Structure 1
């Protein structure tokens, strides 16, 4: 009923829902487009571990030992060796992108091992692909170290050392590696999951700025405010309410898929993740509204959105350590809400951290929400009284 407390809110929500239903692309940006990109991202990383990465083997020995080394490389899950007849052929495969490294087995390796001499196996790799060759280097080193230890054990055994004694002599100081948090080393929780939340934050920002920006561009501000009984706060909150609910549901879907279906449950505080998800969505809704409020132009706001959100994942510390970034890059990373959310995600989801370890990130996200929200409201309060600023692109 007109004049009731709920009337402005209900009327504003109804108007926004009608607008979304009339614009299939805005509706798609809340629905099937982000869901399709989430699915595509999961599919890209669905293997979990990189397997059968090709490398070229240049065998100059052709002995039983060199053939054994090739077999061991082939048995390593992450490697797929291919023999090359010449150095030129090996380099050509590397340059063509059909392989990422070259293992060079020196001539007379078998004879030299039998005499107890030192042998060096070459490993040249394409450092343009650090994520590929980093894993391959680890596997190649493990294979060569295993073969080296076996050859040394055989030599010591021939000299009369017992098996256990020979092993201790070969490796007097040993390392016992133990993976914590993501013991399998899968990239699904460590890379795909942060990438999916990064996609979500882009769509959240776009939804907010397009919803508000269309009112300014189409000069429909009076109708927008009239539905809310000329209450800007109600009009703004109602406009952002539908994206808020939709993207919270999408966040819950990510939790369900990774936790229940893919076997990566939240090991830490579920409350911290829930609060973090809510605050991530509110922070970027507020940022989107702030961008269009201060720019006054939907086109300019979209450009600013792309500038801020598209490279945000690169600054978040997921691919390159934040501590190793230059000061200016790290400062920029710290003013991005996504950085704080992904830190919370890493510590809580797989790290098993309790709520108290996430309070700093939650406080930062709450400050972003309040700051961007206040800036958006204050600027819009002035802009809705300036009809000459409406109608631009």
Structure 2
């Protein structure tokens, strides 16, 4: 209970700001002109970038980047302003390390936005000098204007889609490990026969009695995650809360079913914990949140269908952020139900190893 609770608190604090802001960059301004200073002020005024340092040379700036003091280098040549006044193409060079795609993307987009705004201002001044009106000048400067509409995450908040996934990963790991240990320990310590005897010889009753508490605790943790996302992080449930809750229950039971399948197949607590933990962690890779499944190598893409987290994360996004009608998510709910059939495939074996002393005290 404490471990998933700690993970919820940890990732809430980590993603509380939600956005990547004020990334430090270093400017190498060899122009030292009013135009270069104005452009630097415009770049510094963007939300994602902070012109924190100025270097006298590229070598000095590269040293700062190698020491990870800055996220980018902005170089302005000595002829920056003179080329503008002469009507010659002038350029600003931005050097990115390429080691952090998220940070690089924020720096590039903010710098590009500031440079485009500055360039538009220069062009507008030239048109004004020629006696051209502002409206006509803007048509010449930007004949096509893009209107970008972000439906589900208008603030581009990283916490809205990363924080829930990390929190749910905590639920996945604890569910698999706790279920594996709860059942596997009966074999490891040779208490499985007594355990079944206390349940009247019913394997189903024994499993329900042992695993129901884990199911309830994890279900409560999912509800706590929803509370944190809505109350603390400011998200809204725009879809069906009841459908989301039902899906979360099937999501938890699906991972418990996988854990039972692993225990029955291996009949070894140590090996089952290793395989179960590895399986739980791999779900993050194939969730499609940080790297789209469709962009993965073709032969790898089918592996994403082997993890319940992928289906539940789609349901979560649909109901939490997009407000998709539940009729479109029912097939995904059906795919979660398929995982519940896994214990049936090894039911006879699971019952046999519980009574066979040859499988006791292994691992």
Task: Please tell me the TM-score bracket, short chain as reference.
Answer: over 0.9
Contact map agreement 1:52 1:77 (CA 8 A) in 2: yes
Aligned position for 2:90: 119
* Aligned equivalent of 1:186, options 135, 138, 157: 157
Aligned position for 1:74: 44
Does residue 25 of structure 2 align to residue 52 of structure 1? Answer: no
* Aligned equivalent of 2:209, options 215, 238, 247: 238
CA apart distance, 1:138: 0.7
Does residue 87 of structure 2 align to residue 104 of structure 1? Answer: no
| Alignment size in residue pairs | 362
Aligned position for 1:33: 3
* Aligned equivalent of 1:272, options 218, 221, 243: 243
Distance 2:21 2:89 in 1: 31
Aligned position for 1:201: 172
Does residue 180 of structure 2 align to residue 223 of structure 1? Answer: no
Distance 1:375 1:100 in 2: 53
Does residue 351 of structure 2 align to residue 386 of structure 1? Answer: no
CA apart distance, 1:272: 2.4
CA apart distance, 1:376: 4.6
Distance 1:265 1:177 in 2: 22
Does residue 304 of structure 2 align to residue 336 of structure 1? Answer: no
**Deviation by residue 1:50-92 (Cα, 9 ceiling, x = unmatched):** 1111112111100001111111111111101121111111111
* Aligned equivalent of 1:320, options 291, 295, 305: 291
User: Could you tell me the TM-score, scaled by structure 2's length?
Assistant: 0.97
* Aligned equivalent of 2:254, options 268, 275, 283: 283
**Deviation by residue 1:3-58 (Cα, 9 ceiling, x = unmatched):** xxxxxxxxxxxxxxxxxxxxxxxxxxxx1111112211221111100111111211
Contact map agreement 2:176 2:277 (CA 8 A) in 1: no
Aligned position for 1:168: 139
Query: Which ranges of structure 2 fall in alignment gaps of 5 or more residues?
Result: none
CA RMSD of superposed structures (Å) = 1.2
CA apart distance, 1:382: 1.8
Distance 1:376 1:89 in 2: 64
Distance 1:44 1:121 in 2: 34
What are the equivalent positions in structure 2 for 1:327-366 lying under 5 Å apart?
Answer: 327-366=298-337
**Deviation by residue 1:187-218 (Cα, 9 ceiling, x = unmatched):** 11111112211221111111110000111100
Distance 1:223 1:195 in 2: 38
Runs of at least 4 residues of structure 1 off by over 4 A?
none
Does residue 35 of structure 2 align to residue 65 of structure 1? Answer: yes
**SS of structure 1 residue aligned to 2:151:** coil
User: Closer, same or farther in 2 for the Cα pair 1:328/1:309, shift >3 Å?
Assistant: farther
Distance 1:59 1:116 in 2: 20
* Aligned equivalent of 1:214, options 185, 197, 207: 185
Aligned position for 1:10: none
Aligned position for 1:250: 221
Contact map agreement 1:272 1:358 (CA 8 A) in 2: no
**SS of structure 1 residue aligned to 2:355:** coil
Does residue 113 of structure 2 align to residue 145 of structure 1? Answer: no
Distance 2:77 2:202 in 1: 80
CA apart distance, 1:329: 2.0
Query: Which ranges of structure 1 fall in alignment gaps of 5 or more residues?
Result: 1-30
* Aligned equivalent of 1:299, options 253, 259, 270: 270
Distance 1:203 1:378 in 2: 26
What are the equivalent positions in structure 2 for 1:9-20 lying under 5 Å apart?
Answer: none
Distance 1:117 1:308 in 2: 59
